[in-house]
Structure 1
Amino acid sequence: MSVATNKLSVLEFLKRHISKSLSGQDSTHMEYPTRISQTLGIRVIEVGSGTATVEIDVDSAIHGNQQGTVHGGLISELADAAIGTAHSTLMDEGETFASIDLRVNFFRPVWKSTLRAIARPVQSGRTVSHYTCEIVRDDGKVIAMAASAVMTLRGAQAAGR
């Protein structure tokens, strides 16, 4: 006996995930939460069409670099997760995407905080879209800004991804 599934758009799936109202039959064509987000403890806390906010609890005792502050690579991953989540809300069945680039400017150090990354589109194209992402400490100060270009893949380009 097969169990019926309720196939949702990525946006609707994530909205239900955030509100903790997913049923056991709800699914979408992309994997959420992602494996890397599960490993690092990144949480999706808000989504809209082409937008996303994610957060993570960081501590330099765990996520530190040689200077004793939170590693920039983790901050970059947080920005990439927010931007990827934002773009995924626009994907239909049979579509996927790949980051073309990611640029991060760091402004302030972090030792221990809940970091929030807010991704928004600057320009949304049929194939290439551009995003910005602001990363904020729990005291409200911006610690980094990221920019990324993302390419949407369809048809044969999307197969197997």
Structure 2
Amino acid sequence: MNSKLSTLAFLRRQLDGSLPADATTEMRYPTAISQLLGFRITDVDVGYAQVELDADAAIHGNQQGTVHGGMLCELADATIGTAHSTAIAEGETFASIDLRISFFRPVWRSVLTATARQVQHGKTLTHYECEIIRDDGKAVALATSTVMTIRGEAAYGR
């Protein structure tokens, strides 16, 4: 018997270890990119998500020997996408419209925690803010993003 859950219920049960083996949700969790990069969802609520990454410049580095800014962008985007997936209805999907990020300090090796929350939730457009913090508590980056919710026939097959 297949157990279809909302994305929020699926992720909450995944986090607390009570997810049935046959459980499904409309979204794909864990996502392929999150598995590839080692992202871990650590907390979720409606329009909110927290994701961690064991960042290491030896794996995720740029030419200066620090964690690449593109990795930080991907972490922010994945966290915002997870937050938004908890805030949409069955049959809806979404697309990022923009992503802006400001970098504050470098990372060589650290557990990074990205926390995304809705700033404003509209019928079609929702604005998010995502802060990325090093394990020493210092801010690494701040991203903002606008996400468009897609409904009806436009959402089919995405």
Normalising by the smaller structure, the TM-score range is: over 0.9
Counterpart secondary structure, 1:85:
helix
Between the aligned partners of 1:118 and 1:80, the Cα distance in structure 2 is 11
Q: How many residues align?
A: 158
TM-score (normalizing by structure 2):
0.98
Tell me what 2:73 maps to. 76
Tell me what 1:64 maps to. 61
Between the aligned partners of 1:112 and 1:42, the Cα distance in structure 2 is 15
Gaps of 5+ in 2: none
Structure 1 residue corresponding to 2:42, chosen from 45, 64, 67: 45
Structure 2 residue corresponding to 1:109, chosen from 98, 102, 106: 106
Tell me what 2:135 maps to. 138
Between the aligned partners of 1:79 and 1:122, the Cα distance in structure 2 is 15
Tell me what 2:12 maps to. 15
Amino acid at match of 2:137: G
Percentage identity across aligned positions? Answer: 63
Q: How far off is 1:129 after superposition? A: 0.2
Alpha carbon RMSD of aligned pairs, Å?
A: 0.6
Counterpart secondary structure, 1:132:
strand
Tell me what 1:99 maps to. 96
Between the aligned partners of 2:57 and 2:33, the Cα distance in structure 1 is 19
Amino acid at match of 1:45: T
Counterpart secondary structure, 2:73:
helix
Q: Deviations over 1:75-125 (max 9, x none)?
A: 000000110000000122210000000000000000000000000100000
Amino acid at match of 2:84: H
Q: Deviations over 1:17-74 (max 9, x none)?
A: 1112111121111100100000000000000011000000011011110000000000
Name whichever of 65-74 and 89-98 sits farther off. Answer: 89-98
Q: How far off is 1:159 after superposition? A: 1.2
Counterpart secondary structure, 1:148:
strand
TM-score (normalizing by structure 1):
0.97
Between the aligned partners of 1:80 and 1:17, the Cα distance in structure 2 is 21
Gaps of 5+ in 1: none
